[in-house]
Structure 1
Amino acid sequence: MLKAAVSQTPDEDFVAPVEEKKEVPSFGTLEYIHYWSELEGNLPSPIDVSITGAVKYTCPDLVWYNFDIYPHKIKLTNTGYTVLFGAKWRTERPYLEGGPFLEKHVFSQAHFHWGANMMEGSEHTVDQRRYPGEMQAIFFKSEYMTQEEALHHPDGVVVICYIIKYSVNPDKRLQWVIEGFPRIQEAQTNTRIGPYPMSRLFPMFYEDYFLYWGSLTTVKGESYTVRWLVPRITLFASFEQMKEFRKLWDPWDEPNLGNFRPLQANEGRHVFFIRPHWNQYNSLLPIPREPEPSIAIISPEYQAKPWMLPPQNAYMLPEKETEESKTKQNENINIDDE
């Protein structure tokens, strides 16, 4: 009798819970770009990017802070799977603001992808074409303090993917990094290089790039939501430069002949083409005849405290402040050679 009393009769109406639909932000706002992270952030990467089919979109200028500041040290590591490029600064690190970012994103590390020959190597394809290599620079939202913590938030990590084209001439931006490769041929080894400012390696841009949301899956099988930026401006490398990547060993002491992931389907996701400026006949820009000048600027923190600048950046100081800054550097900076 008790069971019959509590059971639902066929005539009773079942009321389904009402799902609240999130309002789509207005097209043209930064919130509109971020809205798609919830729907497309779990889709796999890398993908093909192209002007064809991309959504043209306007964002503020992307601003590069402190990329001309010399780091204290730069460590180059052969992880066995890739070459990892990391740097430390005594004070404020380089960071990005503006563009598609709602907040400040600081530089974490960069690493490389390559293949067994000059016909493969890049993770992303552009106009269905694969290139010899790709450098991926990782930035994370400053409020999360570390890259590891930022990965657990859908707005935490941004990866800027520089396609590496083939060129008869070597790229000086890559050469000073590649010169350290003979010292890290074995897996799980590292060396010091430079140090030079990040503007010596990263082509900087404030417009003309692709953006999409996609997942990043680690070797442990963990998957995170990431924003991927693919600028039209590129790096380039000669045959001899790319050959140096293939001399590095994997964890089994064999030459690492390739570490790029397979291409994934677009699956109808939004690929934003941010502020197109140059000729749009090709999705990537041609290799520049002359190196592009730095567009980095000094952060307000350095402007307010010029004594924080390293000695190599003394040329940025007004003459009257040079001696005072040197004195404060000697008093306040604890040299760490580890």
Structure 2
Amino acid sequence: MAVFTPVTLDDVTQWIKQFPLGSALELKGISSGIENSNFFLTTERGEFVLTIFENLSFEQLPFYLNLMRHLADRGVAVPAPVANDQGELIVALHGKPASIVTKLEGSSQMSPRPAHCAEVGAMLARMHLAGVDYELEQPNLRGLAWWNQTTPLVLPFLSDDKAHLLRAEMHFQETFAGCDTYQQLQSGPVHADLFRNNVMFDGERLTGFFDFYFAGCDTWLFDVAVTVNDWCIDVDTGVLDEARVRALLDAYHAVRPFTAAEQTAWQPMLRAGALRFWLSRLYDFYLPREAEMLTPHDPTHFERILRERIAKPAPELF
């Protein structure tokens, strides 16, 4: 993630003594992303990831970190948060909430094949089922309410054509969210940001999902749509690769069968997933925050995907 809060090895040397990790040996900023300040942290006990949260509060963070612990305890491959000597998962660093989690093995697969997509689909279904008995609740903070707040902020920067697309899609999604089919969709904790760079592989073996800091309670189908819109496309055009779509959906369905309501909602939900990230990228592009290492993502990527989902139906869920 982008480094908004500078941290040095000297800063961490005293702070880390409250954790059962030994001495800090090396600290390196991670430059991808735009939400938190992340660092690779090497200690006498191994390799970890240190995160300083730039937007989430001490009150909001227990949902995310306890969810990761909950999923890990149920066999879902996710980073495990490390508690300090008081049993706390969230500890202040430079006056901001911070946490340490285990580092996953492997690397991100940025050119996925159907086999990788099948692994992602199956793990996503297991994650959804594992979250059924998670007791904490928090809405998806980048859901419809945020879309409504953000749309008027970005509209002044858009051409007439783009503004028309945004207004029309917002109307479509508000209508969709109020329909009977939407109310029938199964829901629970979702990752909500399961892009290629948030999953680790060792060859074709999936070693874990990470970066749960956009997670919240939403429809499971939204999570599937966000994932398909990244894992199963031609990056230059946004066009879906049917072989990858089929691999991901079939693997998910084998673990947690899709419902008839989800089948009906599938095409609108793919549009919702594209809209969410078009809006957030518009916001970050036109209303950026300062950071040491900050490269806003190109908003036209998800504009293309949204237009493509409107123009052409995707493969059915099952």
- TM-score, normalization: structure 1? 0.24
Pair member with larger Rg: 1
Larger proportion of helix: 2
Relative contact order: is structure 1 or structure 2 higher (C-alpha 8 Å, sep ≥ 6)?
A: 1
Bigger strand share: 1
